[in-house]
Amino acid sequence: MVADAASAAADKNKALAEEARPVFERLRKSLKNIQLYRHNTERYPEYIEPFAKAMQELLQRHNMISLKLDPVAYKLGQHVVFEDEGRETNLVYPLWQAGIRLLIFKNGITAEEILKFFLLCFGANEAERKNRGEDIITQLWKAELECIEYVVVEGFKVLPDEDLEEVEIEVEKVVAYLYRQLQSNSDDYLRFARINSEDLDMQLENVDQMRGNVIQGVTATPGDKARIQQMIGREEARHLSKMVVVLFQLLELDTSEDNFEDVAEAFVQLLDALLLSENFAAIQQIRERFHHSAQKTTLKQATRDLAQRCELRFVGRMGESQRVQAIGNILNAGIAKDADGVRNYLYALGVDAIPSLIDMLETLQLLPNRRLVCDVLAAVGGAYVDTFAQRLTHPSSNLVKDMIYVIDKVNPPNKFEIFATVLEHPNAILRLETLAVIGKSGGDECFDYIARVIKQHPDPQMRSQAARMLPNFPAEQGGGLLLSIIESDAFEKASDPEKKALFASVVMMHAPQTDQFLRDIFDQKSGMFAKKRVDDMKLLAVGGLEAAPSIPGLQMLAQVAQDQKRHSKDVCEAARAAAINVKAKLLGS
């Protein structure tokens, strides 16, 4: 049985070694680049990135890798992972010379930590280290590396009656023992690490340094931990269930005005315990049980009144700012495990908690959880749109987007009038996104906002975005406005992106007047004095047809590309290239 275990471990080491070799070959290439371009320190992270990325992927699969060191190689068991017999920029011998016999890489390692480790090992020659009075080990210790561990064995005293080769064999035994004991996938594989001479069956004298250490006892496996955690969870749930039953029995059978405060406060303490365990289903059940007790005909009216008061106290405490913020902390820890439970909890708080919910929303990072809170705000805040609108000037772009989402879901009659206030927000991205929301509606009210922006707004990006929205409106509105802008004197002063956006919208209108406008542009001939302007307009029209692919547009581009008498060489070449791109887009390639 022991032989089978040893064989399985050897096979595992062999498979891991085969997987690790290509990773360490990347290390050789990375450090070679650093040596070649040693003066270009800013690019060191770029050079080390291939090895760092490969190592991180390897550690995600295996959690930890422990490498034995000899003078020329890194090994997993008896299998060589990386070998280096070079004299200069050797990647193995400097560590072995310093006494490092085990090198341990842990999951979570970063490229910066890898770079720091190898630069400390190889970035300075021996003379420089001596001038500073520090060896490699001291420098590594000061670096406080989080995910790279190492075992150093040095300073053994050889007694006169001892054979040097036997001592070397014993040292190898120490290293082999450390290596075996470090083969663990649990998170605490180093926590109980201690060296015990009885475990090694030998006397160690004058050991100057030893890191990495040895696990003395048998640590719990991940499976053991999971089972214990489940047992603890079941026990806590059982105790909480008993507490709920006891408290309601006390409320219904033995509560009076004299002890009401104590009973009500006990329910609040139970609420905090349930929040701590994120048991929102139990909180909902308690609220339902309160309602049931208040309706029980077998209870005295005074007792039912006390149950109703206790429920009001319980729900009121649920909405206190510190508990709402506790919900925020839970939602920031990850996607809500019980989204319906959280939603029911927040919904029960009612309109009085809207300011606290908005403040909590401002602290949330995960979009699904933000949407959950926004849905609750929209459900309870239909009559409080002004409260949401006041936050549209907030500097946080996420909060403004959330308020737009809530107002859009509530859908008040003046929704777009409220949205239009964001068009003056300092954040350019918010302005553009809000303009897109307004432009997608296609209504008369929204057309007025789009027309005002495209005519009067000082920001070219906003004017370009407004132009892109015009195809959403009826052709007589959008098409007429587009053509009037292109034909105006101000068009010549517009930026190239703005001109391209206008022509792309002209193509996308698919209206008789816009199609005729494009044909008229291509029918023009370049004269001696107007050649540049005519060609510029034709190139803009070609760009618009390319930006909005269609079969008629492809046909028009093909005609332009073939008519070299009417169009200049630049226009024909641009039309030919655009036709190729449009055809590829239409075919989905």
318-355 pLDDT per residue, tens: 988 889 999 999 999 888 889 999 999 999 998 888 99
Q: How many CB atoms lie within 10 A of CB 189?
A: 20
Q: 3-class SS at 66?
A: strand
Reply yes or no on whether the pLDDT at 214 is more than 60.
no
Q: Identify whether residues 228 and 190 lie together within a single domain.
A: no
Q: Identify whether residues 284 and 136 lie together within a single domain.
A: no
Q: Can you tell me the distance from the alpha carbon of 541 to that of 66, in angstroms, rounded to the nearest whole number?
A: 64
Q: Identify whether residues 88 and 163 lie together within a single domain.
A: yes
- Residue 491 has a pLDDT of 86
Q: Identify whether residues 269 and 308 lie together within a single domain.
A: yes
Q: Identify whether residues 192 and 231 lie together within a single domain.
A: no
Q: Can you tell me the distance from the alpha carbon of 525 to that of 533, in angstroms, rounded to the nearest whole number?
A: 11
Q: Identify whether residues 251 and 177 lie together within a single domain.
A: no
Reply yes or no on whether the pLDDT at 135 is more than 80.
no
- Residue 576 has a pLDDT of 92
Query: Closest Cα partner for 104 from 63, 46, 60?
Result: 63
Q: Identify whether residues 143 and 8 lie together within a single domain.
A: yes
Instruction: Give the residue with greater pLDDT, 32 vs 494.
Output: 494
Range from 163-172, 199-208, 306-315, 335-344 carrying the lowest mean pLDDT: 199-208
Q: Where do the H-state alpha helices sit in 301-414?
A: 301-318, 321-332, 339-348, 354-363, 367-380, 385-390, 397-410
Provide the domain count of the chain: 4
Reply yes or no on whether the pLDDT at 138 is more than 90.
no
Q: Are strands 64-70 and 148-152 parallel, antiparallel or unpaired?
A: unpaired
Average pLDDT over residues 388-415: 91
Reply yes or no on whether the pLDDT at 114 is more than 80.
yes
Range of the domain at 536: 524-589
Write out the two tokens for 258. 């004299």
Q: Is position 101 within any domain?
A: yes
Range from 227-231, 299-303, 398-402, 546-550 carrying the lowest mean pLDDT: 227-231
Average pLDDT over residues 192-217: 43
Q: Is 434 left (phi over 0), alpha (psi -120 to 50) or beta?
A: alpha
Q: Is position 17 within any domain?
A: yes
pLDDT in tens, 37-63: 777 777 888 888 888 888 888 888 888
Q: Identify whether residues 16 and 147 lie together within a single domain.
A: yes
Q: Are 553 and 514 in contact (CB under 8 A)?
A: no
Q: Is position 187 within any domain?
A: yes
Q: Identify whether residues 441 and 542 lie together within a single domain.
A: no
> Which of 484, 513, 542 lies at the terminal end of a domain, its last residue?
513
Q: Tell me, what CATH number does 475's domain have?
A: 1.25.10.10
Q: Is 213 left (phi over 0), alpha (psi -120 to 50) or beta?
A: left
Q: Can you tell me the distance from the alpha carbon of 422 to that of 433, in angstroms, rounded to the nearest whole number?
A: 10
- Residue 127 has a pLDDT of 47
Q: Identify whether residues 84 and 148 lie together within a single domain.
A: yes
Reply yes or no on whether the pLDDT at 98 is more than 70.
yes
* Residue whose pair of structure tokens reads 């929704």 in the numeric block: 415
Q: Is position 345 within any domain?
A: no
Reply yes or no on whether the pLDDT at 197 is more than 80.
no
> Which of 485, 513, 541 lies at the terminal end of a domain, its last residue?
513
| Residues facing 106 on adjacent strands | 64
> Which of 479, 513, 547 lies at the terminal end of a domain, its last residue?
513
Reply yes or no on whether the pLDDT at 571 is more than 70.
yes
- Residue 405 has a pLDDT of 92
Q: What type of residue sits at position 582?
A: V
- Residue 261 has a pLDDT of 87
Q: What is the pTM of this model?
A: 0.54
Instruction: Give the residue with greater pLDDT, 85 vs 401.
Output: 401
Q: Is position 258 within any domain?
A: yes
Q: Is position 417 within any domain?
A: yes
Q: Is position 569 within any domain?
A: yes
Q: Is position 48 within any domain?
A: yes
* Percentage of the chain exceeding pLDDT 90: 10
Reply yes or no on whether the pLDDT at 181 is more than 70.
no
Q: Identify whether residues 137 and 267 lie together within a single domain.
A: no
Q: Identify whether residues 417 and 543 lie together within a single domain.
A: no
Average pLDDT over residues 115-134: 63
Range from 20-34, 80-94, 432-446, 550-564 carrying the lowest mean pLDDT: 80-94
Confidence of residue 164 (pLDDT cuts 50, 70, 90): low
Adjacency order of strands within the sheet including 100-106: 79-83, 73-76, 64-70, 100-106, 148-152
